[in-house]
Chain A
Amino acid sequence: MRSIGLAPSALRFGLVDLQPFEETIEEKFGNVKFIVKQLRLRPSESFRDYSTLSSSKDSLRDFITDFFEKSVQQNPDLKKLVEETERGGLSSGGKFELTSLFADFAAKYAKGIDEHVKLEISKFIDSDLPFTVFDQFSLFDRTFAMFLSTLTEASASMQRLVSLSYRARGVPASRHQLDEFKRKIRSVLSASDVTWVSSFSLRLYLELTHSTSLDELFKPKQFRLENLEKNEFDRLLRELTMNNLRFRQQLIQYGPRGEMPEFEVKGPVYSVWREMNEQLT
């Protein structure tokens, strides 16, 4: 779950940087050769370059890059998603495969989210930090689950439209469809990126203030308020809160779609929470 950090970059690269290319493919059926023209969508630059460019240049860069690379290697689904993105999301037959990979990834992400949130809540129990911090981390994760599902559905729909436009009016028409898709999705992707940066910044700040060496980063530890610089901590938390809300706003404006993760709340917890709220009025 921690390797989800790379997902926004992979998705941004996989969608926003797509370009339509017409390719001539030679196919053989028995002894007969067929020349087939086919539309492909592929990124305009390599994902590796993109991820390198977006890395910060501070002393932590190597450690964090290494950390994420290892995390990706340990997560088979994300590893496959990143590899496919690097290849332009195409199978050997030229079929665009990122959509089905997104779908698998989105479904598994939504399924595992409660366990992930529970792990975060364990950190809250062992710390003396305010609940808001972990609540905001959870809000990011849950919004991200909705975002993945939306992206899967939107990407599949884009594939269909681009393909129809290509068959009807060639590459220029498919380019128009693709540009329209990219224009609409860009603000949601940007909001996702910015919020991920906010979320990771706060996590990293907590890690850095509770570690004496790089080796201790992202290892289990107990967070203590006394180790934090109040203004900086408040600023990072405020930014995450604001960006989480913007991320959800952008997503709702775009129109959440696909299979939305269900977050059922058990009766007694909600009724107690509601009563506590009402008694404050």
Chain B
Amino acid sequence: MGLPGCLLYDANILFTLLEGWLHQALTGNIAPSSFFVNAERVHLEAKRIGVPCLASHQSYSALEDRVKRVNDFAADTLRSFVQFLRQEKTVSGQLSPFDSNEDIFLVERFIVEQFRPLGQSKNWEKESLRLLERLIFDAILRATGKRGSTTSTQSVIDQILGTLVDLTRISDGRQTCLVRLQSEVKAPTVFGDPQLFREIKNNVLIGDDEDVGQLSVAIQHQKTANIWTVFVTTDYAHVISVAGDILSKFKLQCSAPLYAIAYLERLSAKGGPVPDPKQYIR
């Protein structure tokens, strides 16, 4: 029989597991990230000893919002580039040839235009544009074969289309990994309570609403299911740094992945298989 308790993952742990499995599926290699190694270690250990792993609906929803934002930004930028290229290279209703010596500067012009509305903030968008610029550059090199040669503009567009098709292939691999994640990490039926949400915000001073929402689900779940729940997170700055406060005020243990099972064992040692959390925390 497993420990009488469960782990509740935050959105970052979900993301790390999902992306790590996807990396393995697409490249055949283990994701070179200590976040993934640690998250997978606690996940496998929990599975081995029969501890249920959970994540809130909000965390799953955040996971989807994140990938949608990435895909939409990448695809919108590539679409804008194709439209820009068509506009620049259309002469008398026909696409003129793409001369890589001269037309490569169209990429530069396009990227500058994309940067312009971003202003001082929007760092993620700026860095993403730099990454996408590289993809466009690579696509042109594939179409022309080598620097300095001329090719049809349509073949450059086809290469960009191929890049977008690759994005759909990534989505396909991700879908299989998401199915696995949802089968191994279930979402509890509890939702955060608005009053609890305000209490956490006021008492523990966590600024990020996403973090507060996930914590309130963990607290609610521990109370409703009456089993020890360890909230697993990699957020040292906002959550683990105030773990003591959260434990004393809300009786919820927060932990980095490596220590989560040990915390659960310690909590379980204080009580029976179905302990009352209020009774065992001093």
Chain A residues near B (Cβ < 8 Å): 114, 117-118, 121-122, 124-125, 130-132, 134-135, 138-139, 142-143, 244-245, 248-249, 252, 263-266, 268-270, 272-281
B71 at the interface (CB under 8 A from A): yes
Instruction: Name the CB-closest residue of B to A121.
Output: B164
Interface positions of B from 125 to 146, Cβ below 8 Å from A: 127-128, 131-132, 134-135, 138
B12 contacts A124, CB within 8 Å?
no
In the assembled complex, how far is the CB of residue A239 from the closest CB belonging to chain B, in whole angstroms?
A: 15
A and B contact pairs by CB, cutoff 8 A, 28 listed: A121-B164, A125-B161, A131-B75, A131-B76, A135-B171, A138-B168, A138-B171, A138-B172, A139-B171, A245-B178, A245-B179, A248-B176, A248-B179, A252-B180, A264-B169, A265-B26, A265-B169, A269-B170, A270-B26, A272-B132, A272-B135, A273-B74, A273-B167, A275-B131, A276-B70, A277-B70, A280-B124, A281-B15
Q: Which residues of B contact A117 (CB under 8 A)?
A: 165, 168
List 10 A-B pairs, minimum CB-CB distance, nearest first.
Answer: A131-B75, A138-B168, A269-B166, A263-B169, A272-B131, A142-B172, A121-B164, A276-B70, A265-B169, A276-B128
> Given A118-B161, A130-B72: A269 and B171 within 8 A (CB)?
no
A280 contacts B175, CB within 8 Å?
no
Q: Which residues of A contact B19 (CB under 8 A)?
A: 274, 277-278
A139 contacts B132, CB within 8 Å?
no
Count A-B pairs with CB separation below 8 Å: 118
Which interface residue of B19, B71, B175 has the most chain A CB atoms within 10 A?
Answer: B175
B173 at the interface (CB under 8 A from A): yes
In the bound complex, CA of A281 to CA of B59 (Å):
13
Q: Which residues of B contact A265 (CB under 8 A)?
A: 26, 166, 169-170, 173
> Given A132-B71, A277-B67: A244 and B175 within 8 A (CB)?
yes
A135 contacts B167, CB within 8 Å?
yes
Task: Return the CB mask of B65-80 against A: 1 if under 8 Å, else 0.
Answer: 0111111111110010
Q: Which residues of A contact B180 (CB under 8 A)?
A: 252
Q: Which residues of B contact A138 (CB under 8 A)?
A: 168, 171-172
In the bound complex, CA of A26 to CA of B19 (Å):
62
In the assembled complex, how far is the CB of residue B116 from the closest CB belonging to chain A, in whole angstroms?
A: 20
Our pick among B67, B72, B74, B175 for the contact of A139 (Cβ within 8 Å) is B175
Instruction: Name the CB-closest residue of A to B164.
Output: A121
A268 contacts B135, CB within 8 Å?
yes
Classify the interface of chain A: helix, strand, loop or mixed: helix
Q: Which residues of A contact B27 (CB under 8 A)?
A: 270
Which interface residue of A131, A132, A139, A142 has the most chain B CB atoms within 10 A?
Answer: A131
Q: Which residues of A contact B69 (CB under 8 A)?
A: 280
In the bound complex, CA of A58 to CA of B23 (Å):
47
B169 contacts A276, CB within 8 Å?
no
Q: Which residues of B contact A280 (CB under 8 A)?
A: 66, 69-70, 124
Q: Which residues of A contact B168 (CB under 8 A)?
A: 117, 121, 134-135, 138-139, 142
In the bound complex, CA of A134 to CA of B75 (Å):
11
B182 at the interface (CB under 8 A from A): yes
In the bound complex, CA of A5 to CA of B73 (Å):
31
In the bound complex, CA of A118 to CA of B252 (Å):
50
Which interface residue of B75, B82, B182 has the most chain A CB atoms within 10 A?
Answer: B75
Which interface residue of B66, B75, B161, B164 has the most chain A CB atoms within 10 A?
Answer: B164
In the assembled complex, how far is the CB of residue B178 from the closest CB belonging to chain A, in whole angstroms?
A: 7
Our pick among B76, B124, B167, B178 for the contact of A269 (Cβ within 8 Å) is B167
B149 at the interface (CB under 8 A from A): no
Which interface residue of B68, B131, B162 has the most chain A CB atoms within 10 A?
Answer: B131
Q: Which residues of B contact A278 (CB under 8 A)?
A: 19
B79 contacts A125, CB within 8 Å?
yes
In the bound complex, CA of A215 to CA of B237 (Å):
60
In the bound complex, CA of A264 to CA of B70 (Å):
20
In the bound complex, CA of A272 to CA of B178 (Å):
20
Our pick among A139, A279, A281 for the contact of B127 (Cβ within 8 Å) is A279
B73 contacts A276, CB within 8 Å?
yes
B179 contacts A122, CB within 8 Å?
no
A252 contacts B179, CB within 8 Å?
yes
